[in-house]
Structure formats: structure tokens, C-alpha cells
Amino acid sequence: MVTMWVAYAGFVALAVNPFGGLLIAIPYAKAVLDVSPWCAALFGWPLAYVQVLFVDVLWKTLSRIGWWQRLIERRRTPRLERIASSRYMFWMLVLFAAFLGPWLVMAVMRYAKVPHRRIAVPIALSLGWNAMGIAFLSVYAPRLLLRL
């Protein structure tokens, strides 16, 4: 019973992890927990978003510190703000946020003065299609490899 809780805690730790994240957590759930990759993707999707929330809370905390705010203002460029305000930014985030790392995308967007509410949906959608893609590969890649 205790080992099962440890295995589930391992899944949560892997899904929240910014390095590897769902790419490791979903196959882990299939191999160790004997959980369907589709269920692992559904449960791992919101867990992977925790890293975005962590960066947002950390950024808000740091922005209250004077020297941090001055450092950010000194290094901020209008070019990044123009890129972030592009009308295609929503779809760029949906396509690439999961590959670049949602925590990194959140940090860059906060650096460009983009509020969390503007990028929450595209990052969540990006993590969602990424999770479903990993689940699809976890289910069908072994079957296709066996045919070869």
C-alpha cells in the first residue's frame, strides 16, 4: 500500500518537473502504475501547469523587491514587448510552449509585461496537445514497432 503511494507521488513529481515532465511521467504511469496513458495524460496535464503557476507567483514576489524591479526595467527591450503583442502570439504559444518549456515561456512573457491571464489558455492548450501526443505515442508506438 505504501509503495503504491510512493509510485503515485513519483508520477506527480515527474509531471510537475520542468525538465522532462510529461514526456517521462506518462510512460512511467503506464509502466509502473499500470495506468492508461490517456488517463495519465488527463491527470498529468494540470500537474504540468503547476510550473507556470510557480513562475508566476515567484515573479510577483520578486517584483515587490526594489532592486529586482530596477534590474528588470533596465534590461527590458521594446522589441520583446512588440513580439509578445503580436496577433499571432496566441498560436505561436499553442504550438511551441510545450517544447520550449512552459515555465520558460511564462518567465519570458512576464519579462515582456504580459499578464498571466493573456497566456494561460495558450500554454494550457499547448500542454494538452503535448500530453495527448505523448499518450498516443505511448499506446501506438510499441504496437507499430512490434510489426516491424
Q: pLDDT at residue 148 above 80?
A: no
Whole-number pLDDT of residue 86: 87
Q: Which residues form the domain of 69? A: 2-147
Q: How far is CA 12 from the centre of its chain?
A: 13
Whole-number pLDDT of residue 74: 85
Tens of pLDDT, residues 80-111: 888 888 889 999 999 999 889 999 999 999 98
Tens of pLDDT, residues 112-141: 889 999 999 999 999 999 999 999 999 999
Question: How many domains is the chain built from?
Answer: 1
- Global confidence as pTM: 0.88
Whole-number pLDDT of residue 11: 95
Of the pLDDT bands very low, low, confident and very high (cuts 50, 70, 90), residue 77 is: confident
Whole-number pLDDT of residue 61: 93
